[in-house]
Structure 1
Amino acid sequence: MTTFIFDVLKDLQNNNSNLSELTFILPSKRAGLFLKHQLHKVSNQTIFSPTIISIEEFVEDLSQLQSISNTELLFEFYNTYIQVTKKEDADSFEIFSKWAQILLQDFNEIDRYLIPQKNIFNYLSAIKDIENHHWSLEENQTKFIKNYLAFWNKLHSYYTHFSEQLLNKKIGYQGLIYREAVANLESYIEKNNKKQHVFLGFNALNTCEETIIQKLLQNNLAKVYWDIDTTFFNSDNHDAGLFTRQHHKKWPYFKTNPFNWITTNYSEEKNISTLGIPKNIGQAKQIGSLLKKLQQENPTLQNTAVVLGDENLLTLVLNALPENIEALNITMGFPLKSIPLAWLFETLFYIHKTPSNSFYYKDVINVMSHQFIRPLFNVEQVDYASKIIETIDANNIIYLTADRLKAIAPNSAGIIDLLFSNWGKTIDLALQNCFQLIINIKTCLDTNKTANLLSLEYLFRFNELFNELSRLNTKYQHIKDISTLFSIYKELLSSETLDFQGEPLQGLQIMGMLESRVLDFETVIISSVNEGVLPSGKSNNSFIPFDVKLENKLPTYKEKDAVYTYHFYRLLQRAKNVYILYNTEADVLTGGEKSRFITQLELEKIHNINHQIIVPEVPIIEASLNTVYKTESLQIEIIKLAEKGFSPSSLTSYIRNPIDFYQQKLLKIKEHDDVEETVAANTLGTVVHNTLEDFYKPLKGTFLKVEIIKNLKTQIEDKVTYHFKKEYKEGDITKGKNLIIFEIAKRYVSNFLDLELQDLKAGNQIKILDIEANNEISIDIPELNFPVKLVGKVDRVDEYNGMTRIIDYKTGRVDQNLVEIVNWEDITTDYKKYSKSFQVLTYALMMQLSGDIKLPMEAGIISFKNLSAGFLNFAKKDKAGAYAKKDTLITQETIDNFTMELKQLILEICNPNIPFTEKEV
């Protein structure tokens, strides 16, 4: 396969051009590297390398201006803005930066296309005046209306002052540099009247570029080589040839000189496949699979390129590459915003942009847990980061101050100050904190440089970024607060990359669409060929309306789409194998609809397109229930647990799911107690239980009286508050949802006491026998050769009109049907329906075996969410249905039937031949 670059060099050689004396001008620096590499193929003798530069470098040299970054342009433009705008009407730098980028882009376009500035700005001002005539004619205009209309009237003033300011400093944005280059062109030609320029690989040219190239052509100081195929050039409708057709038709030079070149490469036989794949990750995986397949024929993957239509796929593609790729070159840099350090500094800026002495616990934990920060808190072999996080969890702290953090970790006071103190005082201090933090992290990483080379590279790039921020702040003094600093940080970060090291001329090439200009590859894989990506579609990030752009011959979305059409088809021109991937899944912004480029390929009928919809290979994973077999060591733990005692809750945990029982009771795995921003249900339950325990414990052995209950009602506020502080630690219950839950807890206790008052006023006698009664009894199971105990705490035992009752409190809702049973064997199998019955019967059995209570008795539940139902008594029904006969008394027969089922459950838990098997949800 011959390349466009080689064909140009061969043509120059055939025309006896001295290559060493030529100045090659290309669309990009990368193309120049490939050109330099091709020189030896056309020269049979040693020569000096010619001058090879990009169009931007050539124009910059012509203009005698130096290009500066977009961020610095923003600062320079703000200088203009505050000088031209009245102080009381001027936006802050942060607000200014939101709209100024768009205006700078318009300035750039106006200059690149040599539009008379005054005309277009006056035109825009007049349009806005007409559009808003009902505003401009109002006698009493508001400040907003005045400022809005004044903005459009000042556009020309902004432009004039800004361009003069830049020219005085010998700096400029791209458009201004191009305009000045055109202004200096005559002088350049006079000084370089024997220099030969070769322009190659250009397509869409702005007016400045057209003017420069045509002027050089007319003075016989240049040659221009186009790379266009006859298929596109001869079609009036094909956008790939839109610009070259215009150049051929409109440039006077081509009326008497040949138009080099129109080739026929596109019509040659090609293997083109279009692959529809769901999601970006699917495309990345497919690229990996294609490369693995291509390696079988071309192990080095030479002359193979992966072109990413959406450059956000880079990380995914890198992870999907075959492991045995020998040489790889990535032309795109890895975006700094994707590096873990970016997230760290973003978090720090975020928490400091609003002045505050306290910090939200999640933000503190996020900073403490960061991979680069955590090692800084290891002091004298103590992990203070963990200590801080544990203290936050244990004390339910929602907001912390720097002083509180230093009290928890006194030996880490320095790093705490660096992270959480003094950011808002001055911008210089905030930047110093960033620099010092980078130094501290570097010192930590330097202990093992070999293992931390990549992390040190990250630090170096971020140090450069903050140096640039510091320089801009020192030079311009426009950053007044952390919020503005954060905005500029994000602006800089978005354009910064970490460059890869690779072999630019060997092996597999991974690049973006614009980086493929002028280059040719035998095998091309193009990703994300979807509408909205390739081409990008109708985006109007400009203050200049569409009709005004048309009137002034400024590029619109149509021209921008045509640019990408050319790049897409140029990749296909000389390629033999082409794989075009697109996302089949509907996405909010992009994806789901294949690009018009694919449809156009199909409609052309020049090539046979192999169209496939790729379904990801998803391995069939048979769902299997988790099973844990009882080893000898596990059996020993079960025996220890049996000797210590099974509680009703642990037994119902086994009924619900044996695996939960295994993890919680045998492995001793506890759920992590997260900070409760809103009071959790179990905390509410604990507060209510503990309040009632405080109320009723002193009444043990006495009959309740109306006066006693009325007295207790006066203590609700104090007791509930006390227990909330005890359980909820430092959580705030004075506002929001927590205040509502606090009031609910008081209401639960108050309603319960009201229920007691109703009973007493109705003439019922209630005697408190026990509160929070601890029980520990042995249960005889002859089949087991080790002792088994039952343990548990009963919320309340009382005597109601002479009948003993065992009562379990539930703060959630429980209905009567959940404490009733028909068949005894169901009580240990159906957790949802019978767990409440199981619990109260276990308490009844323990109380009966302990000898504290004699049969018959009653057992049941009081539900605080269903207090109107009163005491929900356990009942044995003779059959299912509404007309079943219920027996609410717990007799010896009831105890015996329950004991039989309980023993079977314990035998199952202790049986070494029955594994713990997960239950299906």
Structure 2
Amino acid sequence: MQSFIQDVVQDVLKNNSDLGKTIFILPSKRAGVFLKKALSSSLTKTVLAPEIYSIEDFIEKVSNLVTANTTTQLFELYNAYLNVGDYDKESFDSFLKWGQILLQDFNEVDRYLVDANNLYQNVAAIQEVNHWSVNSDNSEIIENYLHFWRHLEGIYNKFNDNLLKQGLGHQGLIYKISVSELNNYIASVNKQHIFLGFNALNTAESILIQTILEQTNAAIYWDIDPYFLKDNIHDAGYFIRQYQKTWKVLKDKPLAGLTNYYNTEKHIEIIGVPKNVSQVNYVGDILNNIQNNAPETLRNAAIVLGNEELLNPLLNSIPESIPATNITMGQKLESTTLASFFINLIEFHEQKTDKGWFYKHLLNLLTHSYAVLLFEANDVSTNQLISKIKLNNWSYINNDQISRLLPKNATVSLLFEDIKNDPNRLIENFLALITSIRSIEAVKQNPLLLEQLYKFFTLFNQLKDLCNNFTYINNLKSLKHLFKQLLSSETLDFQGNPIEGIQIMGMLESRLLDFETIIITSVNEGVLPSGKSNNSFIPFDLKTKNGLPTYKEKDAVYTYHFYRLLQRAKNVYILYNTEPDALEGGERSRLITQLLTDDNRTDIKSVIATPTIQPITKEIEQVEKTKSLIDLIQQKAKKGFSPSSLSNYIRNPIDFYKQNLLNINEVMQVEETLAPNTFGTIVHDSLEELYTPLVGKTLTEDLLNDIRKNVTSSVARNFEKTYKEGNISSGKNYISFHVILKYIQTFIDAEVTALKDHSIKIIALEQSLSVPLEVPGLDFPIILKGKLDRVDEFDGITRIIDYKTGKVERRNVELMDWDVLTEEYQFSKAFQLLCYALMFFKTHPAENLSIQAGIISLKNFADGTLLFAQKESARGPKNHIINNEVISDFEQILGQLITEICNADLPFTEKEV
């Protein structure tokens, strides 16, 4: 296959022997590399090289202006906005949300040489009509809004004048000035101009090219197949058909550069793939297959990304067997981890309140990879910091707490310096942090990271200069908006050999380049073409009236690029996302439908690719009891099984294995609000503290009234002890504090009421018991241990009371069948009560001992004390007495459970909870 560029070079060399007096103008810089390669391979002797320009560089040369960078343009535009009209102006950070749109409009108006004064008068008139009201006076908001539209013309003129005074211009202004400077340029240059590969031209470009063609020895070559020109409704030839009709220099003359390649036999596959990442994975499979079966077809191949955000996943999907790739598109700076670090830091300082930093914002910063890198390089452990914050339940952390936590280190302190909402100080800190990161040994070995650091260093220096020259960035919010906008337009350019390997590019980078093998991704509506978005302040009708491009022209541009890629290609793979998504593109593109309905194309294969789906069957987890695990169980038995750990085994043996044997607990976290277990601990500790003076005493109303006075102070003390430095002065914690007060006061009130008809004597509180068990068949010591919340005498009957802050119902502590105790977790409360009773019996041996055991559920307090009971039927009589016979029966059940836990032949098997 001979490329379009090679065709042009051969034709030029036939008619022009002096390349030194030739100027080539191309749609893009990238094509210039391929033009030089084609020239060098076609020449047989040494000659002076021609001048080669992209159209933007050529027009900049004609205009004698320098293109201002986007940031400078935004600042100058805001400056013009402030200085035109006497009405309330928006802040700089608000302006940034719409300033870019206004900049694009000004750019487009100038490139198409529209009469801006007339246009913006029309825009203002339309807005006046839109906001017409029956009331004679508009509100202040509407007036300010209308003032903006009335002064658009003045803002436009002021903005352009300010740039011109500095010898600068935005792209549109440079195009506009180049038209007025064209005659001076033509008079000063005596060379042949050759234009090649153009399609959609704005008005300024069209006048420039026509004038040069008419007044000088110049030529233009069109990269299009006659097939599209002859079809009067095909969008691929839309612009060039217009030029044939309207350009005098083209009328009644054949177009140069046309070749008949499109209708040649090709291998075209249209593949639907679900979701974006699946598309790039499929690209990897295509490359792998081609490499294995026909590697020569990859010598001249390109991957064109319809959605350029897929670059990173694509790079991870390219097979290692591919010898070389060249990326002709830049990686967006906003997608780097370093960008997220700096945005995180800006937001971290922006989110600081009078109380300090919210712990989640601090943890986000401390766990960021670059923060960890900085800390480790300066011998600071982030894990210790995080543990300290979680241990103390700091919901908010102030500068004093930070300084106590951190060693005195200049670099680390930069992260937390109180910058008082001053963007200049933060930028200075960023520059210092970049220097510190660059000096880290691991970073010195990472060229990509060094390149990113350099790019950010340049960016922050640029921001620093702008902050010094303009006063608009006066807070962190403005800095963040501007920084994010800069990131979205800045790219990190890859270095490579554009002549070798598979070329990875966006659709616009493919202009003028031809490849034998083409893979195009994301060919969906809303991506290719980009859809009906009208990101402009100029209404659609006005755009049409003034010859400005609308989405219709943009669709025709994409159609041309798409079909131009197909013209000379032999192998074409077109991928689209089968899952319509409003954010990532809709259904498959109309370009695919147009291809499939073309009667002249019989070489298209259309398929839907789906990933192989393997059913995932949840396997029940089993842990075999190895010798080391048996040793661990025996150690646990010797140390003591608690009723709650045995209940845990009944619930799920795997949980018992992980939590009670391996001691794998939940990850420690800051309790913003009181966790249920912390809530329970505070209640237990408060009740113990309040009732301890009453141990051994028969309760009286006076004694209970005395301890009632201490409820608030006791709960506050226990809050401070258990909840550490957590805040209880507001929010849910404040409510929890008063809920605990209410629980305990209600409990004491119930005791006072009970004393009217009953006698209550406190025997023990929080009594720790540990008793040995003899289990037949097990020859190692087994201990049952636990803590009895309360032991009392109620009308002469000894009771074991367990406090629960969660909800417990009477059915959870009443049994009809002993077997359910170790089989169903809903009876775990009854199981625990019997364990406490067994320990009490073992430590208080007596022949006719009988007791009761019950739960007081503070959340379900109205049901009173929920006593353990045996019954023969659901509605049968209940027996609340626990005697030696009951304990003997339970001991057998408990022995069977412990035997099962210790049985080496029975693995721990997961239960579905």
Give the TM bin, normalised by the shorter chain.
over 0.9
Q: Is the 8 A contact 1:525 1:580 kept in 2?
A: yes
Name the TM-score, length of structure 2 as normaliser: 0.96
Q: 1:595-614 CA deviation, whole Å, 9 max, x = no partner?
A: 11111111113324322221
SS in 2 for 1:774: strand
Q: 2:214 pairs with 204, 207, 218, which one? A: 218
SS in 2 for 1:581: strand
Instruction: Summarize the Cα distance change of 1:657–1:355 in structure 2 as closer, same or farther, 3 Å threshold.
Output: closer
Question: 2-side partners of 1:577 and 1:884: how far apart?
Answer: 84
What is the CA distance between 1:131 and its match in structure 2? Answer: 2.2
Q: 1:590-645 CA deviation, whole Å, 9 max, x = no partner?
A: 34511111111111133243222211124455432222222222222211111110
SS in 2 for 1:520: coil
Structure 1 segment 485-884 matched on structure 2, within 5 A: 485-608=479-602, 609-761=604-756, 763-831=757-825, 833-851=826-844, 855-879=849-873, 882-884=874-876
Q: Is the 8 A contact 1:384 1:409 kept in 2?
A: no
Instruction: Summarize the Cα distance change of 1:557–1:449 in structure 2 as closer, same or farther, 3 Å threshold.
Output: closer
Aligned to 2:899: 907
Amino acid at match of 2:737: F
Amino acid at match of 2:364: N
What is the CA distance between 1:380 and its match in structure 2? Answer: 8.1
Question: 2-side partners of 1:415 and 1:369: how far apart?
Answer: 17
What is the CA distance between 1:146 and its match in structure 2? Answer: 2.4
Q: Is the 8 A contact 1:405 1:416 kept in 2?
A: no
SS in 2 for 1:267: coil
Q: Is the 8 A contact 1:388 1:405 kept in 2?
A: no
Q: 1:665-702 CA deviation, whole Å, 9 max, x = no partner?
A: 22222222200111111111111111111122221222
Amino acid at match of 2:395: I
Question: 1-side partners of 2:511 and 2:897: how far apart?
Answer: 75
Amino acid at match of 2:242: Q
Amino acid at match of 2:674: V
Amino acid at match of 2:393: N
Amino acid at match of 2:50: P
Aligned to 1:52: 52
Amino acid at match of 2:133: H
Aligned to 2:103: 104
Q: 1:234-289 CA deviation, whole Å, 9 max, x = no partner?
A: 22222111111111111111114321244332211222212111111111211111
Instruction: Summarize the Cα distance change of 1:884–1:533 in structure 2 as closer, same or farther, 3 Å threshold.
Output: farther
Aligned to 2:232: 236
Instruction: Summarize the Cα distance change of 1:836–1:425 in structure 2 as closer, same or farther, 3 Å threshold.
Output: closer
Aligned to 1:349: 346
Amino acid at match of 1:429: R
Aligned to 2:883: 891
Q: 1:282-327 CA deviation, whole Å, 9 max, x = no partner?
A: 1121111111111113437221111111111111111111112211
Question: 2-side partners of 1:41 and 1:207: how far apart?
Answer: 36
SS in 2 for 1:291: helix
Q: Is the 8 A contact 1:582 1:591 kept in 2?
A: no
Aligned to 1:366: 364
Q: 1:505-547 CA deviation, whole Å, 9 max, x = no partner?
A: 1111111111111111111111111111111111111110011
- Structure 1 residue 386 and structure 2 residue 380: aligned? no
Gaps of 5+ in 2: none
Instruction: Summarize the Cα distance change of 1:376–1:128 in structure 2 as closer, same or farther, 3 Å threshold.
Output: closer
SS in 1 for 2:295: coil
- Structure 1 residue 324 and structure 2 residue 321: aligned? yes
Q: Is the 8 A contact 2:443 2:449 kept in 1?
A: no
Amino acid at match of 1:481: N
Name the TM-score, length of structure 1 as normaliser: 0.95
Structure 1 segment 143-292 matched on structure 2, within 5 A: 143-192=140-189, 194-292=190-288
Aligned to 1:401: 398
Range with greater deviation from structure 2 (649-658 or 291-300)? 291-300
SS in 2 for 1:477: coil
Q: Is the 8 A contact 1:3 1:520 kept in 2?
A: yes
Aligned to 2:456: 462
SS in 2 for 1:492: helix
Question: 1-side partners of 2:785 and 2:582: how far apart?
Answer: 57
Amino acid at match of 2:839: M
Structure 1 segment 31-110 matched on structure 2, within 5 A: 31-86=31-86, 89-110=88-109
Question: 1-side partners of 2:227 and 2:868: how far apart?
Answer: 88
SS in 2 for 1:223: strand
SS in 2 for 1:184: helix
Amino acid at match of 1:368: L
What is the CA distance between 1:906 and its match in structure 2? Answer: 1.0
What is the CA distance between 1:502 and its match in structure 2? Answer: 2.2
Q: Is the 8 A contact 1:272 1:607 kept in 2?
A: no
What is the CA distance between 1:147 and its match in structure 2? Answer: 1.6
Instruction: Summarize the Cα distance change of 1:78–1:615 in structure 2 as closer, same or farther, 3 Å threshold.
Output: same
Gaps of 5+ in 1: none
Range with greater deviation from structure 2 (854-863 or 486-495)? 854-863
Amino acid at match of 1:77: L
SS in 1 for 2:801: strand
Range with greater deviation from structure 2 (329-338 or 515-524)? 329-338
Amino acid at match of 1:40: S
Question: 2-side partners of 1:299 and 1:273: how far apart?
Answer: 18
- Structure 1 residue 424 and structure 2 residue 420: aligned? yes
Question: 2-side partners of 1:83 and 1:237: how far apart?
Answer: 48
- The number of aligned residues is 909
SS in 1 for 2:12: helix
SS in 2 for 1:792: strand
Range with greater deviation from structure 2 (473-482 or 486-495)? 473-482
- Structure 1 residue 918 and structure 2 residue 910: aligned? yes
What is the CA distance between 1:651 and its match in structure 2? Answer: 1.0
Amino acid at match of 2:28: S
Range with greater deviation from structure 2 (286-295 or 384-393)? 384-393
SS in 2 for 1:689: helix
Range with greater deviation from structure 2 (908-917 or 113-122)? 908-917
Instruction: Summarize the Cα distance change of 1:380–1:190 in structure 2 as closer, same or farther, 3 Å threshold.
Output: closer
Aligned to 1:120: 119
What is the CA distance between 1:559 and its match in structure 2? Answer: 0.8
Q: Is the 8 A contact 1:196 1:221 kept in 2?
A: yes
Q: Is the 8 A contact 1:353 1:424 kept in 2?
A: no
What is the CA distance between 1:369 and its match in structure 2? Answer: 2.2
Q: Is the 8 A contact 2:348 2:362 kept in 1?
A: no
What is the CA distance between 1:336 and its match in structure 2? Answer: 1.7
Q: Is the 8 A contact 2:788 2:802 kept in 1?
A: yes
Question: 1-side partners of 2:83 and 2:413: how far apart?
Answer: 39
SS in 2 for 1:263: coil
SS in 1 for 2:786: strand
Range with greater deviation from structure 2 (257-266 or 549-558)? 257-266
Amino acid at match of 1:372: Y
Question: 1-side partners of 2:237 and 2:406: how far apart?
Answer: 68
What is the CA distance between 1:434 and its match in structure 2? Answer: 0.9
Q: Is the 8 A contact 1:828 1:905 kept in 2?
A: yes
Question: 2-side partners of 1:131 and 1:452: how far apart?
Answer: 57
Q: Is the 8 A contact 1:355 1:424 kept in 2?
A: no
Q: 1:132-156 CA deviation, whole Å, 9 max, x = no partner?
A: 2328x724x4332322221111111
